[in-house]
Amino acid sequence: MNIISNIEEMQQTALSLKRQGKTVAFVPTMGYLHEGHASLLREGRKRGDILVLSIFVNPIQFGKNEDLDSYPRDRERDCRTAEACGVDIVFTPDSAAMYPPGFQTGVTVRELTLPLCGASRPGHFDGVATVVAKLFSIVQADVALFGRKDYQQLAVIRRMAADLNLPVQVLGMPIIREADGLAMSSRNSYLSPAERQGALCLSRALVRVKERYAAGERSADTLKDVALAAIAQEPLATIDYLELRDGATLEPLQTADNGTILALAVKLGQTRLIDNTLLGEEL
């Protein structure tokens, strides 16, 4: 496994691979890898001749007073996970190289970034779209894999890739959960034992809505109320947003159907967690 930190070296390596006719599968991450990331890497191993993992805590997607400085990092453990999953190249650029003095170009995806996380984290998705566009270009990815836990992020990246005619297939992979249902996240490490237990209200809300939907309920307002009631039972939880939206456009709707997304963001103490499910699919 090769670890590359220099952007120019990564570009030269990627171009050499292209000349050899190699296909590149790419998993971009901010590190502190867990089983969710590992599942992307294992699938990526099947999808390309070369598997590239990037580890970069992207400063421009963090807002003021967010957790950029405290975001969990463990490069040594990440590299062990990468090697176990068959990664060929770990790309680890630094902020000064990614955003040198005078940097002033950004990528904005308009309507898709307005609701949900975009409403509560202004500018976040501009930072995501910009760094992913740069990484796609540097790595020369043929296929890129993202988890569906960050559903809006996945939608934004797909839209960006299509709109900019980027020659990369963007794949969304299933959410990986702990045995008790909590969606895996690097930020779960922030939770106290009581908050970790309280965080189960997110998946509990999703399950209850899916049960009501399976029983025939189609009113978006009624299904939203079911989820709100489930979260309200947890005293440590504060809702950021909880919405049912069209799974393709993220537009609001009155009547739920297969493919409708229930997306929520909930704070446990100082930790903000997100989760979602598509109605009509298994959780």
Distance CA 113, CA 118 (A): 5
Q: Which two tokens stand for residue 35?
A: 């089983």
Reply yes or no on whether 37 is catalytic. Answer: yes
Q: In what order do the strands lie in the sheet with 50-55?
A: 2-4, 89-91, 50-55, 24-29, 143-147, 169-173
CA atoms within 13 A on the CB side of 11: 8
Pairing relationship of beta strands 169-173 and 237-245 according to DSSP bridges: unpaired
One-letter amino acid for residue 138 of the chain: I
CA neighbor of 150 nearest in space, from 185, 122, 114: 185
Helix axes 200-214, 220-232, angle to 10 degrees: 150
One of 29, 30, 37, 275 is an active-site residue; which one? 37
Torsion of Cα atoms, 57 then 62 then 64 then 65, to 10°: -60
Q: Which pair of tokens denotes residue 233?
A: 């039972």
Strands 89-91 and 261-268: unpaired
> What is the number of other CB atoms lying within 10 angstroms of the CB of residue 49?
13
Comparing CA positions, the residue from 144, 132, 184 lying closest to residue 43 is 144
| Residues forming the active site | 37
